[in-house]
Structures are given as structure tokens and as C-alpha cells.
Chain A
Amino acid sequence: MKHWRIYILTALAMLASLDGAYCRDLKFETSIDKAKVALGEAAQLGLSFYGTQSMPAPDVGTIDGLEIRYSGPSTMMTVINGQVSTSVTHMYSVVPLRPGKFQLGPFKFNYKGDDYVSSITFLEVTEERQAPKAPGADEQMTTEKLNVEDKIFVTLESTKQIAYVNELIPITVKLYVNRLNVSDIQLPVFTQESFSKIEFKEPKQYRENVNGSVYDVLEFTTNIFGNKPGDYRLGPAIIKANVVVRRRTARPRGGAGDPFSEDFTRDSFFDDFFTRYERHPVELKSKDIQISVAPVPASGRPASFSGAVGDYQFIYAASPVKLKTGDPINLKMEINGAGNLNTVLEPKLDSTAGFKVYEPQVKTAEHTKTFTTVLIPETESVTAIPRAEFSYFDPGKKEYITISQGPIPIQVEKAKEEAPAQVIGPAAALQQEEDQAKEDIGRDILYIKEAPGRWRAVGYQVYRSGFIAPIVILPFLAMIALWFVRSRADRLKRDTKYASRLNSSRAARMGIKTLKRHLGHGDEKAFYEALFNTLQSYLGHMLKLPTAGVTADIADGILASKDVDVGILNAIKSLFRKCDEARFAMSPVSGRSLRDDLRSLEEVINYFEKNRIG
């Protein structure tokens, strides 16, 4: 029971404190539906309290030249994206008694010890009466015929008309509503080519006095950024909503101009009974705005710049800093500040030699982007987490700024190798097999070579070298030549007929050569001496006879048995005879005869070579 009492007392205390806060947060506003009226035409004055629906009607007192009568309260509750706001407006009918410009307010009001002071507004009264509305006009109202331009409109604003690529540009879209019931308000949309995607936050709601009229304002804000340089037009911003119009379908009594009717119909009971509400969809467009997007400067751009634009801080922290090899280190790199976090990338570490580095986890908050990386020291020789560098472009200072953090000293000890649990008994072998089966075989490339090895010219091939051709060809030619020589020598030994023919031919060639020389010198005796020797030598080799033993008769006898042509035999006899005459008789022979004898000898030799007689 004690607990229940405590709870109740606590709840009451909280309610009391809320009530206090409630009072302090109340807003008291003055508004008027028409800033300008003619004599005899009534205007509606509204005294609104925002944040409550239980405020009594304040006493407005008297204003010279105006007749003010209380019409009744009107409460309103607005729900936008789940946010509820309440207000109460006490309506007063203001009837001007003379022309002029009248100030309404500030009205002072004390309620439960709290003083409230309203804002002020003005009413201008002219003598000219505006043309009366056609009967039944209210029944034919459409969204177009509603004077929506004055009562509801949208504005699009940006505090920056010139920005850099990736620089955040604050955008504000405001929906102004004056004495209209608006529902189903949608988020603003507009075209944003060359800009990032637009996502509006929860709207703010407040009241704003515009030219003497108080508007309920819904303010939507967001940040966008340009993707590429250029001059662009942004907008128009479009908001779709429904305007709720009160339509009176039937009136049991009274009509326009009836001085009572207005007061009478304000009775909520009759309002509810004789009126109904219609929703009229409206599409509200703002004016568009011009925004220029400039590129970030190319000069002075640091190597570590990755596109971040704004004004940032870089926090660098690691834990633990005392550990063993293989233990993880959480490295936290936090970028915070005002700017476009979408283009903030992970700061680069100088070197991660000696560490195994994992991909970072990235978390983005409203003004913070955090990269959390796990580093594992692979060796106890590492003494510090390397330095990290982050660069960004500060559009305010119009310069690149680089922040370096670290290195962070760490102490790494060698991890102890834990002895595997001993498995005793026959299960040991099985356990070992299971361990082997469970082992994951790592796979990676093998390390680089530490020495360059044997250098050689690119494309060098030994078989293209100049010395290769002689090495290949010459021994081969030598072998062929040797084979030829050896073969010939062997045949000369074995084949006597071939050897005789070969010798006789050689003897004939040498003899004819000598004969031509003697013929050229005109030495007749030497000529015939040589002719005799050549003929004797040739026939001797051919007939396999001793050279000195060859005479005209012997040759004739042997050759006749070999069916040698008679003409050749006669020629041989004639040559022998002439040789004898020239050698022994010393009779002169004409130069013509020497040439004839030489030709005759050649014919004899050709005959025997051709017919292979021997």
C-alpha cells in the first residue's frame, strides 16, 4: 500500500510539474480574417492559445470605433505524422463604427496567476462597401474558387545559392495556412536533377505573422548536395493536401444580412446539425530557386582527399593497446562535424604491415560517421598502430584540411601455444584423425623471391646467337666430306676397273693440259714428246698395262679384240707414227698438223671415256 501511495503522489507531482510547464509553453496570438473591411462589414478577430484547449475567453475590453462581441470558442487539433498539437481560438465579431486604421492588441490576460500578452494586428476600415457575394456562392465553392492564394501557400528557401560539389545545402519548405482546415498533408516533392536524393525530416509547426495575418506554418527542412558542377534551378516544391470546407446545406431560418443569423448559426449545435464538411484536394506549388554548384579546387588537393566536404573532427582510438599476437584490436575512426557524411570514406592507414586488417563496420549518425576496424597483430614486433590521415575540403575556409592521427603505441606479446588436451586410451587415435579432418588447410600465394636470379636480355635465346650456325653446320659438312673421302678411298681400293678409269682420265686431262701449253709455245718436239707420253699413259691405265710397254702394235692388237672402232684404231696408229717421226726423224711438222693431232687425241680419249672401254 505504501508503494501505491508513493506512485500516486509521484504521478500527481508529475502532473503538477507538467501543468506548470504547460503554462509556460503556451502561446497567445492575435489574428484577423480580413485586414481590410468596409463600414458595416464584420471581421472576425481570433485570440488563439496554442498548447491547450481549456483556456477561457479573455476580456478584450473596448476599442474606440469598433464594436466587439464574443462569438464563441473554436478548438483545433492537428495531427501530422503522429505529432499532435492543440489550440483554442476565441472568436470575436468586430463591427467597425467609423473608417480608419485600428490596432487590435496587445491583449493582456491573467489566468491562474499567469500573465499572457498577445501579439497585435491591424484592421483597416474603408467607407466603400465591397460587392456582396452572390447567394449560394458558398455552396459552389471549389478549390479554385477558394481564395487559396491568400489563405494557403508554399514557399521554398535555401540559405545557400552557391555551393561546392558535395557541400550540404539546407533547404526549407514552408506551408502557410490561414484559417483553413487542412488535412492529409503530404511531404513536399520537387525535381532535383544533379542533386542528391531529398529526404525531409519531421516538420516543425508554429505560427507566423505575415502582413498582419497570422498563419499556421508547417516547416519541412532537409539538406541536399550537388553531384556535379553547374547552375541549376531547384523546384518548384509541391505539397498536396486536402482543404476541408464547411458547407451549409440548409438553413431553417434567417439568411444573409440577418444580424442575428450569424450569431445564431455559430451555435455549435446548429453548426453540427445543418452543416457538413467537404474535402477539396489542392496541389500547392512554390516558386523555384537558383543554385550554383562549383567544383572543389584541384590545386592543393591532398592525396588522401576522397570527396569529403564540410567541417569535421577526426577521432582516432584503439583498444586494447596491450595484448598478445592474434588478439584483436578495435580501431575506431570517427569523423564528426557539419558536412556531407555521404562522401566521407574510411581514413587510410599509412601501413598495415604486421597486422591482419578486416573490413570496417560503418555507422552513420546525424553528424557522425564511425569506422570500426579490427586489426590483429601477427607478430610481436609491431609497436604501434600506424598513423591515419583524413582530408576534407572546408567550404567556409575554402581550403583543404588534412588531419593526421596516431600512431598509437601498443604492446604486443607473443601468444603462448596452448598444449592440446591429452586423450588417453584407444580414443586417442580416433581423436587425432578427427582433428586432422577438422583442420582447415589455408590457401594463399607463396612469398616473393628474395633474389633476382639470372638476368638476361629480354627475348634472348641462345639458338639465335651467331655462333650457333657454324657450330651446327661445320661439323655436319666435315662429317659429309669425311664420309665422301673415305668412300672414295675404299672404292679405289676395291674396284680396280674404277681405279684404272679414274687414273687414265686424270692422266689424259693432265696430258692435254701440257699439250696445249706446248702448242702455245710452238715447241714441236716437246709437244710430240708429251703427246706420246699422254697416249701411252692413258692407254696403259685403261688397258691395265705397264705404261712403258704400250706401243702402237700392242695397243692395236688388244683394242682390236675389244671391237674398237677402226677409225679410232687408225687414229691411234697415226698418232704413234707421228710421235716417232717427230721425236726421232726431226722432220718439221706444220702448226696446223699439231692442232689436228691434239684434236685427234681428244677424239680418241672421248671415245674411250664415252664407251667405257677398258
Chain B
Amino acid sequence: MNIRGFVVVLILVAAALFGPATTVYTADEETKPDENRLFYTGGVYYEKKDYEKAIENYAAAMKLGLESGNLYYNMANAYLKTGRYGYAILYYEKAKRLIPQDGDMKSNLIYARSMAPGSEAGTKAGLAEKIINAPFGGINLNAVAITALTIYMLTVICAIFFMLNPYYTKKFRIIFALLFIAFLWSTAAFTMRYYEDEVLKKGVTVVKSAEARFEPIDDSSSYFKIQEGDEVIVMNTRDGWTRVKRSDGKIGWVSESAVAEI
């Protein structure tokens, strides 16, 4: 395989990875036209300061089984305007998973946290986690997955190319080494992000205050208190109770309605 062949293979791989995703989004837009109407109607109500109506329309769009970062962002804004800071933070966090690079979202999330009685923003990332996530901080989990997959494919193709063409092995071994490091890095970033977003069930306190109890029963002793806007880890639910873990490691049972999963 020569250089030209290698480039062609790369193009084909990229097309295979990005092509289907783009096609899916486009298809969704064409087959479900109502979500756009609901989104814009919500915006009109928001401008009229009828925030409850705005929330209704945004929620109706979500009921169609679709989501977008901007939809969650607008929903959060509407909740913030009604003073329900817990729900505002919840939807900003949802938006953050889709449009993590959005500056407006980041600003409003900080503002919402400053307004909410609770200020616990969940677990903080360690140094290693920050370093690994640094190149991928501005993209969502899907984009991280696609990036990691692309780098993986390039690494494999590069390896095959070198096996078939041992002559180039010495000439381009630095490229292969860099590709391999990038592959390991992106895989680690994806794994960490996947763990954060999918394995760890994060939740936000959406009521003004809730008592976390030792047992999932009403007359159980209170252990600690969570306040509106506090981020917690949702461990499991049982008979109207949710077992949550606070950022300081304390675990207790709160009413299921007190916490909403991100």
C-alpha cells in the first residue's frame, strides 16, 4: 500500500464515522417538525415573561423524545426566571452535556449556582483527570467517542500499513507513536467521561431543602440536609425514596421528589 492508498483509506474511515451521525440528525429534523415549533413558541412566551408557558412548551418538545443543548439551556433560563434554581441548575447541567463549550450556558450556570441556596457542585476533578480531559473539555461525550474511535482507526490502519509496507516503518514510526499515544489519551478521556455521565448517576436537589435520613422511612432520624441546587450522586431508589451521596461522602435517603437526575 502506498501513501495515496493510505490517505484514501483515512478518508473512507472518517466518512464512515461522521457520515451516519450527520444523516441521523438530518433525518430526525425532517420527520419530526413539531419540536421546532414548540421551541420557538417557548421563546415567544419567554419574551412575554410568561415563563410557565415557556416551560410547558419546552417540556412538550422533550416529550417528543428529542433533546438539544439549546432546548435545555432555554428551559433552564425559564426555570431560573421563576426562581426554581434547582431545576435551572438541572437543565443547565443537561445542556452542559450536549454543549459543554457554550459560554452562555457556563455563565448562567454559575449565576444559577450563586442564586441557589445549595452550592455543592458535586465531586471536583483531580489533577490527572483535568490533564486527561483538557483537550476534550469543549466537546460532549459523543464527540469524545467519535474522536477516540477515529484515532483508534487511524492507529490500526497505520499498523496494518506498516505491516504490509515494512519499508515505511522506520520512516514514519514517530507518527505511529504519536497516534498510539493519542489513542491511549482519547480512550482514557472517553472512559472517564463515560463514567461521569453514564455510570455515575448525578442528580440535583430541586426542592428548597430536604432532610436526608438514615433509612427510607418517615420517622427515621435525619442525618444531613441538602438544599436546592446541591449536586448529589443518585445511588438507587426504593418506594418513593432515593439514596443519595453528597460530595462529602455522606449517604442518606431523601424523598424521591427532592432530587432529579441529570
Which residue of the partner chain A has the closest CB to B197?
A461
In the complex, the answer to whether A465 meets B20 with C-beta atoms within 8 Å is yes
Closest Cβ of chain A: how far from B163's Cβ, in Å?
5
**Contact (A479, B156) CB under 8 Å given A446-B107, A452-B36, A471-B149:** yes
In the complex, the answer to whether A456 meets B80 with C-beta atoms within 8 Å is no
| Stretch from B43-51, B118-126, B230-238, B244-252 forming part of the interface with A | B43-51
Within 8 Å of chain B (Cβ to Cβ): is A478?
Answer: yes
In the complex, the answer to whether B141 meets A458 with C-beta atoms within 8 Å is no
Within 8 Å of chain B (Cβ to Cβ): is A194?
Answer: no
| Stretch from B68-76, B131-139, B174-182, B201-209 forming part of the interface with A | B68-76
Within 8 Å of chain B (Cβ to Cβ): is A453?
Answer: yes
Which residue of the partner chain A has the closest CB to B107?
A446
Which residue of the partner chain A has the closest CB to B61?
A452
Within 8 Å of chain A (Cβ to Cβ): is B16?
Answer: yes
State the majority secondary structure of interface residues on A. Answer: loop
In the complex, the answer to whether A462 meets B25 with C-beta atoms within 8 Å is no
**Contact (A450, B43) CB under 8 Å given A445-B80, A455-B66:** yes
Within 8 Å of chain A (Cβ to Cβ): is B21?
Answer: yes
In the complex, the answer to whether B73 meets A455 with C-beta atoms within 8 Å is no
Within 8 Å of chain B (Cβ to Cβ): is A353?
Answer: yes
In the complex, the answer to whether A456 meets B68 with C-beta atoms within 8 Å is yes
Which residue of the partner chain A has the closest CB to B76?
A445
In the complex, the answer to whether B108 meets A445 with C-beta atoms within 8 Å is yes
Within 8 Å of chain B (Cβ to Cβ): is A206?
Answer: no
In the complex, the answer to whether B111 meets A443 with C-beta atoms within 8 Å is yes
Closest Cβ of chain A: how far from B26's Cβ, in Å?
10
Interface residues on A, range: 35 or more
**Contact (A462, B163) CB under 8 Å given A352-B49, A445-B80:** no
Chain A residues within 8 Å of B194, by CB: 463
Interchain CB contact (< 8 A) of A471 among B16, B104, B111: B16
Chain A residues within 8 Å of B24, by CB: 456, 460
Within 8 Å of chain B (Cβ to Cβ): is A482?
Answer: yes
Within 8 Å of chain A (Cβ to Cβ): is B228?
Answer: no
State the majority secondary structure of interface residues on B. Answer: helix
Beta-carbon contacts under 8 Å, B86-128 to A: 99, 104, 107-108, 111-112
Chain B residues within 8 Å of A467, by CB: 16, 20
Per-residue interface assignment for chain A, residues 448 to 485, with 1 indicating a CB less than 8 Å from any chain B CB and 0 otherwise: 11111111111011110101100110011011001100
**Total chain B interface residues with beta-carbon distance under 8 A:** 55
In the complex, the answer to whether A449 meets B16 with C-beta atoms within 8 Å is no
In the complex, the answer to whether A453 meets B65 with C-beta atoms within 8 Å is no
In the complex, the answer to whether B142 meets A462 with C-beta atoms within 8 Å is yes
In the complex, the answer to whether A462 meets B146 with C-beta atoms within 8 Å is yes
Within 8 Å of chain A (Cβ to Cβ): is B218?
Answer: no
**Contact (A479, B62) CB under 8 Å given A449-B74, A465-B20, A468-B149:** no
Chain B residues within 8 Å of A446, by CB: 104, 107-108
A443 and B160 CA atoms in complex are apart in Å by 57
Task: Give the residue among A448, A457, A461 with the most B Cβ atoms within 10 A.
Answer: A448
Chain B residues within 8 Å of A493, by CB: none
Within 8 Å of chain B (Cβ to Cβ): is A562?
Answer: no
In the complex, the answer to whether A453 meets B99 with C-beta atoms within 8 Å is yes
Closest Cβ of chain B: how far from A145's Cβ, in Å?
60
**Contact (A479, B163) CB under 8 Å given A446-B104, A455-B68:** yes
Within 8 Å of chain A (Cβ to Cβ): is B17?
Answer: yes
Which residue of the partner chain A has the closest CB to B148?
A463
**A-B CB contact pairs (8 Å), 5 listed:** A452-B35, A453-B99, A467-B16, A467-B20, A472-B152
Residues of B within 8 A of A (CB): 16-17, 20-21, 24-25, 28-29, 32, 35-36, 39, 43, 46-50, 61-62, 65-71, 73-74, 77-78, 80-81, 99, 104, 107-108, 111-112, 141-142, 145-146, 149, 152-153, 156-157, 159-160, 163-164, 190, 194, 198
